[in-house]
């Protein structure tokens, strides 16, 4: 299994087979190694392992065979040199900041990122003397202008949540590199099936495995993928010390999630595209935000940068919060929850949930109106999803 050159295989095959090393038990499926520590043959071997002179397991805060398999597989799928798994997506983002930033440094971050990502930079890194400038996602001039001599990295999510806005990753990578900064891309919405930021010039990819990688809403987890140099010198020492480790059990769930990721993403995207087109034809709907639609201002960029258009659709109703809440409450099948990337379709009102802690003017600046509804389209039959929405639309 290990002698194969997994780089030569396609992402669908890597997702199913890469990274696994069979034990002497000849198991077919990847086992869960529930062990906190490992035994050495001699005192000398223990010493060689601890000093890094000999490869091998030491302690499951930073070495576990099930977690290693997940890491190797996701690294290959993202076309990165190395991956490290974390306890959650937020733990992975925290690890990037903790390992790459020091007091006096500066970060440029898209305004349209996951709410807790904003809080991480704004409330926590700020406490330790790291300043963050937030910019409009798709405005390359704004990114360029925000970079300072002490800027360490740019942080972006594309497409964004919930507005499904994009940025040109290659162009942004060029801007970052001209000024000796790194580009970090949160690839949760696309997964490596739809978009490979490292191959477009980004330096670091971060994931919440909680979403599409699990795909069935069971576990919380995260990952960082980057060059051998960035991982070995910065991220790995932090994981080993900081300890926000992914459990072997969760890695095992995520490994089986990866095995079906390609077919699930295709099905999520097919359902989302059909739903977006249908919503556009509804009388009660004022505007649909989905990169697959011709009406999306960045439809051309989406076609060029992504292999599919994604599983999330957001739309504005005619009216305001009352109409949005009425539509959500009229559903009987969809789950009213802010989670996404699940086989179950979820429906949420961003202005009063995920983005409810933002000041109203900041929210409006990001385009999140009171009439906006976000749907993470699952894998139920599309006609059943439409019927459920029709209750509140008609």
Ligand X SMILES: *Cc1c(COP(=O)(O)O)cnc(C)c1O
Long-range contacts, 172-175 (Cβ 8 Å, 24+):
172/140, 172/143, 173/200, 173/201, 173/202, 173/203, 174/201, 175/140, 175/143, 175/144, 175/147
Q: What is the DSSP letter of 37?
A: B
**Cα–Cα distance, 189 to 3 (Å, whole number):** 32
**Cα–Cα distance, 225 to 157 (Å, whole number):** 15
* Min dist. Cβ of residue 48 to ligand X (A): 35
Q: Which is nearer to ligand X, 114 or 236 (CB)?
A: 114
What torsion, rounded to 10 degrees, do the Cα atoms 152, 109, 212, 13 define?
A: -40
Q: Which is nearer to ligand X, 222 or 378 (CB)?
A: 222
Q: What is the DSSP string of 143-154?
A: HHHH--TTEEEE
Residue nearest to ligand X (CB): 89
In Å, what is the CA distance from 190 to each residue of 92, 262, 268? 17, 11, 11
* Min dist. Cβ of residue 358 to ligand X (A): 16
* Min dist. Cβ of residue 184 to ligand X (A): 11
* Min dist. Cβ of residue 186 to ligand X (A): 5
Which residue intervals of the chain are DSSP H helices? Answer: 11-17, 43-50, 65-77, 89-100, 115-119, 140-146, 169-178, 191-194, 228-230, 236-242, 248-259, 261-280, 299-305, 321-330, 360-365, 382-393
The reply to whether omega before 206 is within 30° of 0 (cis) is: no
Q: Which is nearer to ligand X, 211 or 363 (CB)?
A: 211
Provide the 3-class DSSP secondary structure of residue 323.
helix
Which run of H or E residues covers position 134? Answer: strand 131-135
Q: Which is nearer to ligand X, 375 or 382 (CB)?
A: 375
* Min dist. Cβ of residue 93 to ligand X (A): 7
The answer to whether the CB of 222 falls within 8 A of the CB of 247 is: no
* Min dist. Cβ of residue 286 to ligand X (A): 25
Q: Which is nearer to ligand X, 186 or 203 (CB)?
A: 186
* Min dist. Cβ of residue 23 to ligand X (A): 30
Q: Which residues bind ligand X (CB under 6 A)?
A: 88-90, 114, 157, 161, 186, 188, 208, 210-211, 220, 222
Q: Which is nearer to ligand X, 90 or 163 (CB)?
A: 90
Q: Which is nearer to ligand X, 90 or 224 (CB)?
A: 90
Q: Which is nearer to ligand X, 95 or 382 (CB)?
A: 95
The answer to whether the CB of 311 falls within 8 A of the CB of 269 is: yes
* Min dist. Cβ of residue 327 to ligand X (A): 23
């Amino acid at each position: 299994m290990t002698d194969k050159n997994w780089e030569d295989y396609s992402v669908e095959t890597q997702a199913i087979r890469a990274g696994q090393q069979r034990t002497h038990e000849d198991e077919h499926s990847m086992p869960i190694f529930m062990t906190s520590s490992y035994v050495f043959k001699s005192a000398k071997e223990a010493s060689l392992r601890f000093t890094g002179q000999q490869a091998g397991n030491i302690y499951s805060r930073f070495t576990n065979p099930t977690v290693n398999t997940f890491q190797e597989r996701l690294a290959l799928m993202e076309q990165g040199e190395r991956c490290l798994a974390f306890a959650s997506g937020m733990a992975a983002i925290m690890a990037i900041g903790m390992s790459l930033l020091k007091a006096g440094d500066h970060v440029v971050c898209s305004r349209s990122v996951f709410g807790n990502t904003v809080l991480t930079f704004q409330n926590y890194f700020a406490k330790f003397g790291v300043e963050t400038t937030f910019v409009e996602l798709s405005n390359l001039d704004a990114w360029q202008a925000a970079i300072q001599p002490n800027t360490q990295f740019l942080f972006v999510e594309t497409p964004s949540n919930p507005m499904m806005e994009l940025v040109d990753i290659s162009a942004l990578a060029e801007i970052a590199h001209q000024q000796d900064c790194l580009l970090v891309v949160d690839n949760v919405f696309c997964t490596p099936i739809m978009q490979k930021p490292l191959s477009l010039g980004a330096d670091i990819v971060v994931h919440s495995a909680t979403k599409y990688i699990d795909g069935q809403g069971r576990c919380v987890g995260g990952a960082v993928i980057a060059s051998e140099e960035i991982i070995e010198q910065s991220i790995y020492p932090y994981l080993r010390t900081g300890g926000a480790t992914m459990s072997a059990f969760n890695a095992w769930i995520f490994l089986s999630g990866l095995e079906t990721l390609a077919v699930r993403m295709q099905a999520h995207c097919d359902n989302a595209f059909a739903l977006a087109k249908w919503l556009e034809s509804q009388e009660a709907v004022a505007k649909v935000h989905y990169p697959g639609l011709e009406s999306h201002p960045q439809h051309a960029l989406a076609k060029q940068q992504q292999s599919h258009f994604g599983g999330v659709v957001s739309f504005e109703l005619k009216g305001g919060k009352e109409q949005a809440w009425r539509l959500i409450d009229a559903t009987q099948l969809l789950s009213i929850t802010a989670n996404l990337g699940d086989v179950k379709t979820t429906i949420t009102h961003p202005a009063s949930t995920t983005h409810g802690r933002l000041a109203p003017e900041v929210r409006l600046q990001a385009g999140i109106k009171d009439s906006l509804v976000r749907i993470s389209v699952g894998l139920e039959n599309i006609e059943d999803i439409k019927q459920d929405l029709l209750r509140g639309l008609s």
